Structure 1
Amino acid sequence: MSGLEAVFRREHELPKRPESGVVTLRAAGLSVARRGAARPVLEGVDFEVAAGEVVALVGPNGAGKSTLLAALAGELEPSAGAVELDGRALAEWTTLDMARRRAVLPQTHTVGFPFTAREVVAMGRAPWVRTVRRADDDALIAAALAAADVEHLAARPFPALSGGERARVALARVLAQDTPTLLLDEPTAALDLGHQEAVLRLAADRAAAGAAVVVVLHDLGLAAAYADRVVVLESGEVAADGPPRQVLSTELLTRVYQHPVEVLDHPVTGAQLVLPVRR
């Protein structure tokens, strides 16, 4: 096989952008057990996300949000059920196949060597080495640095950055990976108010451009404002799944979070507000 033929073959096998509404990631009857635990961390979870939508996973601590995201990413082996990526079981994909189809932003952002921020973002392009899409590397890295507002940090060592700066650089790495599906675990946790809004706008923009986005959030206000669907997890099970206005109700949230919650419309904009009741 000639070099050109090999490149053509690899490009022919590269994933294509799914049409809007096409399910890219699906879980059926998904359970995840932890050794020695009295009950599964997840039990019988059905879930899917389609191109063009943002799905927020919410729920109290220990509800199973990050566990579900890790199982969807193929980083946790389910004890029951199955996960499909682009219509095929995760076990049928190689690690490289999956890296070209979904990008994962973990909660923690550690790098063992003093790479610069730009070098960390460039790591997102690793799945496309030796494909014709490598020609897009510089443009996508620059666009990701700009989108995550970290251009000014490009030359700085990653370990020297603040927690919020590292979180934004890690997000830029995921954006540079340029996959049809994004899995983001608490991307706003270390960020100030302005950057929290910017990250969720980025997620919404990616979905509008055709990506499928799953994001773990603690801020129910952000979920109400930016998610197309909200999945509420309670003790490892799905308590509700649907549009924010259908799912984020006073009764459900008060029960799930075991704290009084008020859901109301903003008096000027009409936007849905989710607030804890304080004495």
Structure 2
Amino acid sequence: MRRLSLRARPDLPPPPAPGDVLAEAHGLVVRLGGRPVLDGVDLTVRAGEVLALVGPNGAGKSTLLGALAGDVPADGGGVRVGGAPVGERSARQLALRRAVLPQSSPLAFPFTAEEVVRMGRAPWAGTALADEDDAAVAAALAATEAAGFAGRAFPALSGGERARVALARVLAQRAPLLLLDEPTAALDVRHQELVLRVCREQAALARGVVVVLHDLGLAAAHADRVALLSHGSLVASGPPSSVLTPARLSALYHHPIEVLPHPHGGAPVILPVRGPSKDSGAR
């Protein structure tokens, strides 16, 4: 695990422009416990887009996200972040270029929510942008609707509140690339939509957002591109309308899935096909 050194002055990444390549995987192979989890994956992440990673359980979504972050080593192929191989960058150099939201954020010490969010500013210590710390923290708390409990101890928060604080920490980091692993898992419908709206706002700021989602409807509604994985391979990548087709989803999830037009002209509605209940003929 890399240590985050604050002594050396880092080379600050230039602000990205829409379309800039922020991360890329080429022929990526990852084995865990001797088992191939990713097998020859090619993927490019660009500034100004929301890229959703979707697929069945065990498809390799979280592993791919971890490899893009530089936290999961490659057994073949490679990953570049900000134009350089992840292995050639220090932990601080990576932290200035990508911010990572894991599936869970365990923290036993009674830091307040605001203190947890402020941890996202650590990579900028000693740089000219350290003056933005207070503004970045306040903006992140506001964006995630977490300002109201900023002074409460993080371990005392509900699961949904902790999830929003963890996302606020990532936003406060203000890295060009955001890597989010199931950020909506613990949230109600309102806050699921809030999180994906925040993702779209970040993309509008010329940042790149990669988000692992299980909800195909959220991916269809909010992603610019969808990467569909199965058994460690990239099955399809492109606009949601071309990737999330009934035949492809039904085959991968081993369950019939319908993709229906939205009644009010919005994103398509993706639903599992359900048969009659067992007691439907009893009445």
Which structure shows the bigger proportion of residues in helix conformation? 1
Alignment match of 1:160 (pick from 138, 156, 161): 156
- 2:42 alignment partner AA: D
Counterpart check, 1:101 vs 2:97: yes
- 2:63 alignment partner AA: T
Match of residue 190 from structure 2: 194
Scaled by the length of structure 2, the TM-score of the pair is: 0.93
The CA deviation at 1:179 is 0.5
Match of residue 4 from structure 1: none
The CA deviation at 1:270 is 4.2
RMSD, aligned α-carbons: 1.3
**Following the alignment from structure 2 to structure 1, what is the Cα–Cα distance between the partners of residues 271 and 73?**
36
Aligned pairs for 1:101-120 (under 5 A) are 101-120=97-116
For 1:65-99, what per-residue CA distance to the aligned partner results, in whole angstroms no more than 9, with x for missing partners? 00100011011111101000111101111000000
Match of residue 3 from structure 1: none
The CA deviation at 1:268 is 2.1
Match of residue 19 from structure 2: 21
Match of residue 173 from structure 2: 177
The CA deviation at 1:112 is 2.9
Partner SS for 2:32: coil
**Following the alignment from structure 2 to structure 1, what is the Cα–Cα distance between the partners of residues 15 and 56?**
34
Structure 2 residue ranges without an equivalent (≥5):
1-6, 276-283
**Following the alignment from structure 1 to structure 2, what is the Cα–Cα distance between the partners of residues 45 and 36?**
18
For 1:187-224, what per-residue CA distance to the aligned partner results, in whole angstroms no more than 9, with x for missing partners? 00000000000000000110011000000000000000
**Following the alignment from structure 2 to structure 1, what is the Cα–Cα distance between the partners of residues 53 and 41?**
12
Partner SS for 2:22: strand
- 2:250 alignment partner AA: T
The CA deviation at 1:109 is 1.2
Alignment match of 1:244 (pick from 240, 245, 248): 240
Match of residue 31 from structure 2: 33
**Following the alignment from structure 1 to structure 2, what is the Cα–Cα distance between the partners of residues 107 and 163?**
12
- 1:218 alignment partner AA: H
Give the 3 Å change call, closer, same or farther, for CA 270–153 of structure 1 in structure 2. Answer: closer
Aligned pairs for 1:1-279 (under 5 A) are 10=9, 13-37=11-35, 40-279=36-275
The CA deviation at 1:10 is 4.2
Q: How many pairs align? A: 269
The CA deviation at 1:160 is 0.4
**Following the alignment from structure 1 to structure 2, what is the Cα–Cα distance between the partners of residues 178 and 104?**
11
The CA deviation at 1:175 is 0.2
For 1:218-246, what per-residue CA distance to the aligned partner results, in whole angstroms no more than 9, with x for missing partners? 00000000000000000100011000001
**Following the alignment from structure 1 to structure 2, what is the Cα–Cα distance between the partners of residues 158 and 270?**
37
**Following the alignment from structure 2 to structure 1, what is the Cα–Cα distance between the partners of residues 244 and 209?**
19
Partner SS for 1:33: strand
**Following the alignment from structure 2 to structure 1, what is the Cα–Cα distance between the partners of residues 24 and 219?**
21
The CA deviation at 1:137 is 0.3
For 1:110-132, what per-residue CA distance to the aligned partner results, in whole angstroms no more than 9, with x for missing partners? 11311000000000000001111
Scaled by the length of structure 1, the TM-score of the pair is: 0.94
Partner SS for 1:41: strand
The CA deviation at 1:271 is 2.4
The CA deviation at 1:19 is 1.1
Structure 1 residue ranges without an equivalent (≥5):
1-6
